[in-house]
Structure 1
Amino acid sequence: MVINAFGGPEQLVWGDLPMPEPGAGEVLVRVACAGVNPADWKTRVGKLSAYIDYHFPFVLGFDLSGIVEAVGKGLDALAPGDRVFGMSKQGQGRDGSYAEYCIADAAFLTPLPTGWSFAQAAALPVAGTTAYGGMVDVGDLQVGQSVLVNGGAGGVGSIAIQVAHALGARVAATCGPDNMSYVRGFGADHAIDYRAGDVAQAVRKWAPDGVDLVLDAVGLDSLLPSALDIVAPGGRYVEIATLISQASVEDVAHAAANGVSILSNMDAVMRLPQHLGGLAALCAAGGVKPPAIEIMPLAEAGEAHRRIEGQHVRGKIILEVASHDDW
C-alpha cells in the first residue's frame, strides 16, 4: 500500500514498486505482518515531515515481522530464512512495512520470540521499545519502585505494565471501565478508571507519597497538570514524543524546581537497538506476553488508520501482508 500525497486514509492505495536491495548492514525482509501505530497516520498526513525525507509514492509502516530474504554485503548476524521482527527504515525516508518486501537495518531486527506468531511479534517493535525505553532507560526504573502507566490498555501501555512488573515494580494503570481486568491480567497491581473521577486523587490513595515514575501513553496533556500531585520528589514523568502534546519549557522548569523530572522517551532514541534487545530478552524469559491484537488484511489499511486515529483501540491492530501459514 502506498500514498501518493499527504491526506486522509483514502490516500492509501495499491501500488507496484521495484524490489528493494539491501546495502551494507541492511536486511531484505519478506514481510508477514505489519503493526499499525499512531506514528503511521501522522506520517500519512505529513506531520512528521520535519523528521522524514518523504518521496512519492511512499510506503508507510514502522513495525514488521517476517522472514529474512537476503542480507547486505559482509553481514553475518542474520541469514536468509531467519524469522525476525523489528523496524523498517521509514524514519530515514525509506519505504516501510506495508509491502511484501521491506529493507531494515540489521541492528533493528531480532529473532522472533519462541512461541510467538508473526502477528503477535508485529505488535512489539515500536510500542515495545517505547515502553521499554521509557521505563528502563529514560525512566531509570528500579526494583521496588511504584509506577503509573497512563493508558494501560493500549499497545504501549499493556507492554509497559508487563515490563515494570517483570522488573520488580508496583504498577498502577489507568484505563476505561471495560479494561480493568485486562490491565490487571498484564500485572497491574491497581487499575484506575479514568472516567470515574479524579485520577490524581486515586493515585495518591494508592501511593500516598506519590509514584516514582509515570509513563504517559495517552498524551494530550491528560495528566501533565497533575504531575506534581502524583510524582514523588525525585521521581520522573516520561512523555511519548509522538503523542500530540508535550510539556512546555515552563512545565519542565516548574516541575524541576519541585524535584520532578519531566522527560521525553526520545531522550534515548539513539539506543533503540538496545531497547529492542532488552524487550526480546524479556519476551524470551516469559516476562512479556502479547497484547490483544486484531488482524486486518493489508487492503484495509485505511480503515485501520481511521480506528487508530480515534485513539480507543485495545492493544494493537496488525495488518496481514502475506498469507504465511506454511512459512
Structure 2
Amino acid sequence: MKAISYSRYGGPEVLEFGERPDPKVGPDKVLVQVRAAAVNPVDWKAQAGYLDTIFDTVFPVIPGWDVSGVIVQPGVSVTEFSVGDEVMGYVREDVLCHGTFAEYVAAPVRTLARKPRNLGFEESAALPLAGLTAYQALHRALHLRSGDTLLVHAASGAVGSMAVQIARHLGARVIGASRDEGQDRVRELGAEPVPYGDGFTARVRELAPRGVDAALDTVGGQVLKDSAALLAPDGRLASIADGEVIALGGRYYWVRPDTDDLTALAGLVEGGALTVRVAASFPLERAADAQRANMEGGLHGKVVVTVDHDH
C-alpha cells in the first residue's frame, strides 16, 4: 500500500511517500480503507521524538492517529462492525509504528465508532482526537454541569472550539479566551469572547466577578496560572497542556480512545449541536505540507490529508 512514513526523528523533512507492507488484521482489529486522516500537533511532536519516554517506537513509523474510512475486513473476533461500515477513529496504540497516513490501517475496534451520517470523510477525520479531548476533559476531569460558568482557552482552536460547543450543549455558560483574530469565531460558537493580552484576567473578572466554576487550559504556562487565579472558591481546573496543573490542585488529562464517547460525539454532530470545520486538505503524498500548515497554526479549523483510491 501507499503510505507516509519516517525512519528517523525529525521535522516534516523526514516524511517519505512510498510503498509499505499491507497491515495485518489481528483478531480484535478491522482493516479500514482510509479516506482521510487529520493532522494533530501530537503527530509532529511524536515524530520529533518528544514522546520517546512514553512510547516505544518501531521504525519506519507511519504517523497519524485520526482517521475516517470504510471497513473492508473485520478481524476474526469482531462482531461490532461489518464490511462497508463507514467509521471514524482515534487509532492510538501503545507503540508508534502503524498510523493512519496510509491507504489502509488495521484499527482496534476499541478506537472506532460509526462516523456521523451527515459528515463527509474529511470532517469525520477531523473529529476524533480533538472532539474526544474536549468531551472527556469536560465530563471526566471537570464534571461540567448545566449552569456552570466555564472558561475555555484557545477557544477558536481545534480542541477549544469543540469544548465550547459541547459545554453549551450541556447548558453551561462559556467564556472563550482567544487571540483577537479568533473573537468572531468564539462568538459564533456561542461563547462570550475575551481577548488575550494586558488586562486579560480583569476582563474575565468583569464577566465572572465571583470566579469561574471550571476552566479548561489548552495552552499551559502563564495561561494555566491565570486560570487557577480566576476560579471560584470551589472551582475545578483541568489542563491538557501542562502537568503543573496538578500542583495547582487541578487535573492533568490525556485523551484516550473510547467507542462510546466517539458515538456520543457523532450523535452531537447528527443532532446539530456540534460542527466540525476543516481549514485545509492535502493529498496523502503532500502530508509534509499538511504538517507544516498545522505547525504554523492560525487556522480556524483542522488540517487533513485525503487518500485517493481511484488510481
TM-score bin (small chain): over 0.9
1:15 Cα shift?
2.6
Aligned pair partner of 1:262 in 238, 243, 250 = 250
Question: Structure 1 residues 42 and 17, CA, compared in 2 at 3 Å: closer, same or farther?
Answer: same
Whole-Å separation in 2 of the counterparts to 1:44 and 1:112? 27
Q: Are 1:124 and 2:110 matched, yes or no?
A: no
Partner-residue secondary structure (3-state), 2:57: coil
Question: Structure 1 residues 64 and 311, CA, compared in 2 at 3 Å: closer, same or farther?
Answer: same
Kept in 2: contact 1:98–1:298 (CA 8 A): yes
Aligned pair partner of 1:191 in 177, 193, 215 = 193
Q: Runs in 1 of length 4+ with deviation above 4 angstroms?
A: none
- Residue matched to 2:263: 277
Q: In structure 1, what residue type is equivalent to 2:306?
A: E
Question: Structure 1 residues 177 and 270, CA, compared in 2 at 3 Å: closer, same or farther?
Answer: closer
Whole-Å separation in 2 of the counterparts to 1:173 and 1:79? 41
1:153 Cα shift?
1.1
Q: Are 1:287 and 2:273 matched, yes or no?
A: yes
**Alignment RMSD, CA only?**
1.8
- Residue matched to 1:217: 218
Kept in 2: contact 1:295–1:320 (CA 8 A): yes
1:125-274 matches, within 5 Å, as: 125-188=128-191, 190-195=192-197, 197-219=198-220, 221-240=221-240, 243=241, 245-247=242-244, 252-253=246-247, 255=248, 261-266=249-254, 269=255, 272-274=258-260
Whole-Å separation in 1 of the counterparts to 2:179 and 2:227? 20
| Structure with higher strand content | 2
TM-score, normalised via structure 2 length: 0.93
TM-score, normalised via structure 1 length: 0.89
Partner-residue secondary structure (3-state), 2:250: strand
Kept in 2: contact 1:61–1:90 (CA 8 A): no
Aligned pair partner of 2:23 in 13, 20, 24 = 20
Q: % of aligned pairs identical?
A: 34
Aligned pair count reads 307
Whole-Å separation in 2 of the counterparts to 1:118 and 1:270? 21
Deviates more, 1:227-236 or 1:132-141: 227-236
1:12 Cα shift?
0.6
Whole-Å separation in 2 of the counterparts to 1:69 and 1:178? 43
Q: Which runs of 5+ in 1 are unaligned?
A: 256-260
- Residue matched to 2:14: 11
Whole-Å separation in 2 of the counterparts to 1:194 and 1:31? 39
Whole-Å separation in 2 of the counterparts to 1:218 and 1:312? 14
- Residue matched to 2:301: 315
Whole-Å separation in 1 of the counterparts to 2:222 and 2:188? 24
Question: Structure 1 residues 117 and 271, CA, compared in 2 at 3 Å: closer, same or farther?
Answer: closer
1:116 Cα shift?
0.3
Whole-Å separation in 2 of the counterparts to 1:78 and 1:317? 28
Deviates more, 1:314-323 or 1:98-107: 314-323
1:294 Cα shift?
1.4
Whole-Å separation in 2 of the counterparts to 1:323 and 1:72? 22
Whole-Å separation in 1 of the counterparts to 2:52 and 2:186? 35
Q: In structure 1, what residue type is equivalent to 2:299?
A: V
Deviates more, 1:82-91 or 1:303-312: 303-312
Cα deviations across residues 80-137 of structure 1 (Å, max 9, x unaligned)?
Answer: 1111101224543341010000011112111111210100011111101000011111
Whole-Å separation in 1 of the counterparts to 2:146 and 2:20? 49
Whole-Å separation in 2 of the counterparts to 1:173 and 1:218? 13
